Structure 1
Amino acid sequence: MSTSLPAFLGACTLVAASPGPSTVLIVKQSLRSRRAGFLTVLGNETGVFVWGVVAAFGLTALLTASQAAYDVLRVVGAVVLVWFGVQALRQARRTEEDGAWGDGGREGVEQSGWASYRGGLLLNLANPKAAVFALSFLPQFVPEGAPHLPAMVGLAVLWAVYEVGYYGLYVWFVGRMKAVLSRAGARRRLEQVSGGVLLLLGLRMALDG
């Protein structure tokens, strides 16, 4: 394990650095507050851990074996992405009407912690590619001769904890830039960009057979 650990953490860094729906949502929520951003990270990493455990038991192989099961999860994931995109665009419109920290903007900032956590978790669990990736990613780093199930679960825990730290830097950075990003114009544009990206990702997932 000690020899494969540096390679595993390096691969985790590359995976986390690759832009995707989770990154967009984490940055978007961090615009509202550090608390919302960090709870979104925790929700996302709970999903990472769940898929890792499911992969350890070999259950995600069902997604690769059953086109119907994969398609159902793919459509659900597309709907979730589109919904998040629409929510971001609606928030951008409220920001334009009320200002970044007017009543409408404050309503978006003060969403519950559970809503932020649930959003990160839902986005990850509704992505079939995350499940298939966990199935193909984790086994590569199981040491030869090690018990497969405990090793896979341990790697899933390490993967999730590592990404909490990695994405926590995103939350911290957005928080440091809050004085600039809180301006109505900047906040509106960022909400529009994040909403548009999430919509496009959702449409791409829906059309991706």
Structure 2
Amino acid sequence: MDAQLIAFIGVAAGMVALPGADFTVVVRNALASRAAGVATALGVAGGLLVHTALAVAGLAAVLVTVPALFRTVQILGGAYVLYLGISALHAARRRTTDGGPDADSGSDAGRAGRPSVTGPRRALRQGFLANALNPKAPVLFLSLLPQFVPDGQPPVPRTLLLATVVVLLALIWFPAVALLVDRLGRWLRRPRAARAIEGGSGAALTALGLALVTGPLLH
């Protein structure tokens, strides 16, 4: 039994499940529809595939050690997350303006509480870009993966295995989150709850985006 691999699975599971931009985007789009939520989740996993390829190829090390390149990715990622946050805040504000305080009742509550419709293709793109442009991912891969490569073992196959574990965990976790949000949609899509979720997700994404755009280098 590979004790290091088992330990890595536990660490990686906690890392994947940690709420962040990926989680927030998946939840928000899952409120629009199950298909949009699952598509966003698959997009997040696709973004992780990019980081996996970079880590195995050693390109992530180049990204981290070249400040200008890293800062460019950091600004691009922050700008995109900021865009998603402002869009969510705008949608929450529009929902407050359009829907009265009594909109929680009635047969159309579930439909009225849905965020702006997001097609699966757009949702897939949002999930992919939110993760692929996350500058923290290369740092995490480079700082975490080498710790679980046993001495004397070829690093590339082992790194590929560990990176694959992360992607598989993401393929389990994020679709599960999307399906759970959709399952609870009867309550979560009530106008007041939907406004709170959309406003909260918008505020969180905006804060994350601002932190990346205006903050110092993460490494």
Give your verdict on TM over 0.5.
yes
- 8 A contact 1:16–1:166 mirrored in 2: yes
Q: Which residue in 1 is equivalent to 2:47?
A: 47
Q: Which residue in 1 is equivalent to 2:106?
A: none
1:185 maps to amino acid: R
- 8 A contact 2:16–2:169 mirrored in 1: no
Q: TM-score, normalised to structure 2's length? A: 0.86
Residues 168-207 of structure 1 show CA distances to partners (whole Å, capped at 9, x for unaligned) of: 3322221221111111111111101100110011111112
Q: Which residue in 2 is equivalent to 1:108?
A: 116
Identity over the aligned pairs, expressed in percent? 34
Picking from 144, 149, 160, the partner of 1:142 is: 149
2:13 maps to amino acid: T
C-alpha separation between the residues in 2 aligned to 1:188 and 1:106? Answer: 9
Q: Tell me, which stretches of 5 or more residues in structure 1 are unaligned?
A: none
C-alpha separation between the residues in 1 aligned to 2:167 and 2:115? Answer: 30
Q: Which residue in 1 is equivalent to 2:203?
A: 196
C-alpha separation between the residues in 2 aligned to 1:88 and 1:108? Answer: 9
Following TM superposition, by how much is the alpha carbon of 1:93 offset from its aligned partner in structure 2, in angstroms?
A: 3.1
Q: Which residue in 2 is equivalent to 1:13?
A: 13
- 8 A contact 2:29–2:115 mirrored in 1: no
2:122 maps to amino acid: A
C-alpha separation between the residues in 1 aligned to 2:42 and 2:183? Answer: 20
Q: Which residue in 2 is equivalent to 1:22?
A: 22
Instruction: Say which SS state the counterpart of residue 116 (structure 2) adopts.
Output: helix
| Higher mean C-alpha deviation, range 143-152 or range 50-59 | 143-152
C-alpha separation between the residues in 2 aligned to 1:175 and 1:144? Answer: 45
Output aligned runs, 1:1-209, within 5 Å: 2-96=2-96, 97=98, 101-102=111-112, 108-109=116-117, 111-209=118-216
- 8 A contact 1:63–1:132 mirrored in 2: no
1:182 maps to amino acid: R
Q: Tell me, which stretches of 5 or more residues in structure 2 are unaligned?
A: 104-108
C-alpha separation between the residues in 2 aligned to 1:106 and 1:201? Answer: 24
Residues 6-50 of structure 1 show CA distances to partners (whole Å, capped at 9, x for unaligned) of: 111100121023221111111111111222111111111111121
Q: TM-score, normalised to structure 1's length? A: 0.90
C-alpha separation between the residues in 1 aligned to 2:191 and 2:74? Answer: 35
C-alpha separation between the residues in 2 aligned to 1:143 and 1:65? Answer: 24
- 8 A contact 2:32–2:115 mirrored in 1: no
Following TM superposition, by how much is the alpha carbon of 1:106 offset from its aligned partner in structure 2, in angstroms?
A: 6.4
Residues 64-95 of structure 1 show CA distances to partners (whole Å, capped at 9, x for unaligned) of: 21111111111111110110011112222343
- 8 A contact 1:31–1:181 mirrored in 2: yes
Name the count of aligned residue pairs. 206
C-alpha separation between the residues in 2 aligned to 1:158 and 1:10? Answer: 11
- 8 A contact 1:53–1:152 mirrored in 2: no
C-alpha separation between the residues in 2 aligned to 1:170 and 1:88? Answer: 19
